[in-house]
Structure formats: structure tokens, C-alpha cells
Amino acid sequence: MALRQKTIVVLVMRVLFSSLGDVSLSRGMKQIGSVSFVSLASVWQTYIHIISSPMIWLGIGLMLAFFFCHLLLFSWADYSYAMPMTAANYVVVPLLGLLLLGESVNFTRWTGVVIISLGVILIGSTDPVSREAS
């Protein structure tokens, strides 16, 4: 597989794992409710709820998969290419927030998403590696 193709595949996987992991963690924490630090007992109870939540564990698993893709990406693509391309997360997250969490996304946020998308498209049109292969 060519460098550009494998980079795009891993970038897409990275963005999806990261975004879905964040949504799972958000949903899991919303199910648990507001965290209170008024006493050691309430902190302990919150801890028990967190480690027994399937949504939290799903989020952790997805974030581990994201991190693995992140490391793979850094093994061959330039940092100056990889990191700006991961801004695609900022496009996917509002969509998932709207569709999966029922959040309201206002016009200003969508405007920001469009601007970020243009930047991702611009950077995506360049080569993932600016140096010659050794």
C-alpha cells in the first residue's frame, strides 16, 4: 500500500477511534452524573461507578485503539502533516455530539467546523513526508 493511502486509512481510523472514544466517555460520565468531591466517600462511590461502567470501558478501549493508530502515524508521517490532519476530529465530534448525544450545535460552531475542514483539506493535499526516505 502506498504511503499516502496507508496514511489516510490510519488517519481515518485514528479520528474515528478518538471521536467515538470521547463520545463513549462523555455518555458514560453523563450516566454517572455530576462528580462531587465533598467527601472521601463520594469520591470512592464515583470511582466505583466509573470502573463498573461498560460505556467508560468502551471509551477506554477506543482511546487505546486511537493511541495505537496515533503511534503508527508518527512512525512514518511528518509531525507537521499528521497533527494538523488530526484536526478532522473537530469535524467529527460535533456531528457525533448532535447525532449520538442529542447536543445542540449552533451556527458559530458549524462555522468553525467549516474553517477547520478547509484547513484539513489544504494540508491533506500535501505529501505526508517532506524528507527523502532513508
Domain membership of residue 75 (yes or no) is yes
pLDDT single digits (tens) 115-127 = 988 988 888 888 8
In the prediction, which pLDDT does 38 show? 86
Whether 81 is in a domain gets the answer yes
Looking at the domain assignment, is residue 43 inside a domain? yes
C-alpha angle with apex 101: 15 to 112, nearest 5 degrees?
55
Number of domain units in the chain: 1
For the ranges 5-9, 24-28, 115-119, 123-127, the maximum mean pLDDT occurs at 24-28
Integer angstrom CA distances of residue 87 from 52, 120, 123: 32, 7, 10
Please indicate, yes or no, if residue 115 is contained in any of the structural domains: yes
Parent domain of 60: 3-124
Domain assignment present for 111: yes
Q: Determine, yes or no, domain membership for 33.
A: yes
